[in-house]
Amino acid sequence: MTNKSQHLLKKGSLFAMFCLSYFPLFLLLSIKIYIENEKYAHFGGFNQDAILTFLKHFGFIYVLLFLSLFAFIGTYLTFKKLNSKRPNAFPVKVNSIKSKNDEALSYLATYVIPLLAQGILGLYEYATFLILFLIYYKLYSTSSLIVINPVLNMKYGLYELDYTIGIENKISKNALVISNQKWIEEGEDLLIIKLSHRLYFAY
């Protein structure tokens, strides 16, 4: 049972999953920035003024593009690693289960829409976005928000469950679970592996 205490989710994986949860915002912000600056979307050569103008009006789109690529690649590699760790998972029996899938909608309303509901975007708005983004990441990485991910929810089920380990152990434990199973029933046997504090991946 020593594998239970290991944390497989490192800071890079956490940040990738966090960025993935904000991909809808990144996409919508990129579209908004482009529409607001469409008149500058023409080739102006490779001189200093043209490059500075391009960075001023479209540079933030490339920041969002980088974060999006990091999110998808990092999350893909994280779950690929998790699938290879299946032999280290331990069996549990589900006593009760609560889906967290519907909370992805409230997550969008609470954390994504306020960042999108800005006026014309400028330096102040970009700085505000980055500060709030870092604050949200801190909250995300130390709370149950990690399993509330509207993009991840498209492929994986997100649950809170009470479980027992083995036949003899009658003590029920509580955990947050990410699983590629969209439906998990009470009384079902699962294999789980620890990702971080109270967070597991179920096979």
Q: How far is CA 63 from CA 34, 81, 98, in A?
A: 13, 27, 37
The reported pLDDT for the residue numbered 68 is 95
Is residue 187 within 8 A of residue 94, CB to CB? The reply is yes
Is residue 160 within 8 A of residue 184, CB to CB? The reply is no
Which residues on adjacent β-strands are paired with residue 199?
176, 196
With a cut of 70, list the residues of the chain below it in pLDDT.
1-8, 44, 101-121, 143-145, 147, 166-170
The reported pLDDT for the residue numbered 124 is 76
> Beta 90-99 vs 189-196: how paired, if at all?
antiparallel
The reported pLDDT for the residue numbered 71 is 95
The reported pLDDT for the residue numbered 5 is 46
**In a 3-state reduction of DSSP, which class is residue 203?**
coil
